[in-house]
A and B are shown apart, each in its own frame.
Chain A
Amino acid sequence: MVISSDARWEMVDAITRQTVTYGTYKQTLGDVLGDLTVKPLTGIPVAVAALYAFWSIFTSFAGTLVTDGFMVKLFDGYWLPWLQSVWPDPTSWHYFIFVGNPAADTCFEAFGMLTSGLFVSIGVVLPAVFVFYLMMTILEDSGYLPRLAVLMDSVLHRIGLHGYAIVPAILGLGCNVPAVTATRILETKKQRFIMMTLLALFIPCGAQLGIMMSVLPDLVGVVMLCLVVGFVIFGFVLNKVIPGENPEILVDVPPYHWPVKEYVAKKLWNRTKGFLKEAVPFVLFGVLVVNLLYLGGVIQGLADLLEPVFVTWFGVPKETVGPLIAAFLRKDLAIAQLSTIPMTTYQTVASVVLVTIYFPCVATFVVMLREGWKQLIAAIAVLFVVVFIYGGIIHAVGILLGVA
């Protein structure tokens, strides 16, 4: 038996009347907080404060406390000298691949699988993603995200999305892989395409944020600014260019809950485990591939070939070609590698931004393919155009400011 929508609602009301009774409703602290965090006058300062707190906990705990205070000492003080002393024959190919540069003083410079590979993944990125996931989990479980979506809607609706796109955006700051799938909460193909493309282009993942914080702490702000500006500019352009609907936000705002400790712990454990299982082998594999390509002279050849584009158009040294290849496997690795190339401040910012936007990492690439190959191809086409244009714009701005 099939009935009309109206008849269904009538039945729903009749059932509810006979089974549910409402007592006197008392406003709770959660309701008051709910109101305060969604009203613009109070909500926007709260959002800024929350993001600031998020950021400062992230940098101080992961960057200063764990990485600088413990991991750097451990890896550079004991692990690297020990490996360099026990590994036979510093001139051999296996020394180059596993230990790297025999003259290196730090695990960043060495660039071997067991030196930089382990240091980047365990020493720098692991503490960063752990803290990041902890805070993200609390944001998710408390019920704050839908409220943040309401506050962000005014901006996001003008770039072809709506406020709820903040969900994949924030997930993407952890890892772009689940974020790509999360674009399914958007209603139209146009919105999903715009969000997926912007994700792949302008949202750095937690691993990348972690390594940036460690190797270029003073420049992270400038890099993030370049990315946010790019996100808005190209979102605006894509909204104009891509046909399709951009429906308004329509979303349920759940009441606040105290995050359930058990769930937070479980989620944190699963995500960290996922990182160890998938990211660490990829970083090691990335070092291996890059080292093999160096040994085979492939990177040198590519660098010579692409020199005009890199030096003239983007204004960065041709040595950055190597890290760009590593970036396809792991972005964190690429930035670690960039940090060892001597560059001016402008060149560092420009090359880090390029590494971020130029291509999604291979894992993201695979999930994007799962969401549809046509969109993937279109996204890649957009990506190349954007990288070329935005890289040029950054260079031009650099020249105008007199830094490039």
Chain B
Amino acid sequence: MRIKLSDLPFGATAVVREIQTSAHDLNCLGLRIGKELKMVTKQPIKGPVVVILGELEIAMGLETAEQIVVETGVDR
């Protein structure tokens, strides 16, 4: 199932499928298409989203997370 990263529940894992915003900065921090990530936390009052990708942990704004499409339930 494909959903927005911002809708991914806590602790769930998913694979990045599409980046609808400028991808360069996200790529540089390690968030790239095809990578598996895990939702760590979404901060209240439209705060940032923190995800873990393998050894990496990155924080991004909510609007950015809304423009990233991930696929859940991918068997790896």
Contact = CB atoms under 8 A, between A and B. Distances in A.
Given A163-B48, A250-B26, A250-B29, A146 B59 contact: yes
Interface string A19-36: 000100000000000110
Contacts of A253: 50, 57-59
B9 interface: no
B48 A252 contact: no
Contacts of A151: 43, 47
B27 to A, nearest CB: 7
A157 interface: yes
A192 to B, nearest CB: 18
Contact of B58 (A9, A163, A252): A252
Contact of B56 (A22, A248, A252): A252
B73 interface: no
Contacts of A154: 43-48
A149 interface: yes
Contacts of A377: none
Given A9-B27, A39-B40, A251 B45 contact: no
Interface string A236-248: 0000000000011
21 contacts: A5-B27, A22-B54, A35-B40, A38-B59, A39-B41, A40-B41, A40-B47, A149-B59, A150-B47, A153-B59, A248-B60, A248-B61, A250-B26, A250-B29, A250-B61, A251-B29, A251-B59, A252-B56, A252-B57, A253-B57, A253-B59
Interface of B: 24-27, 29, 32, 40-41, 43-48, 50, 54, 56-64
Given A150-B47, A250-B61, A253-B50, 9 more contacts: A5-B24, A22-B54, A153-B47, A153-B48, A154-B43, A247-B61, A249-B61, A250-B60, A251-B59
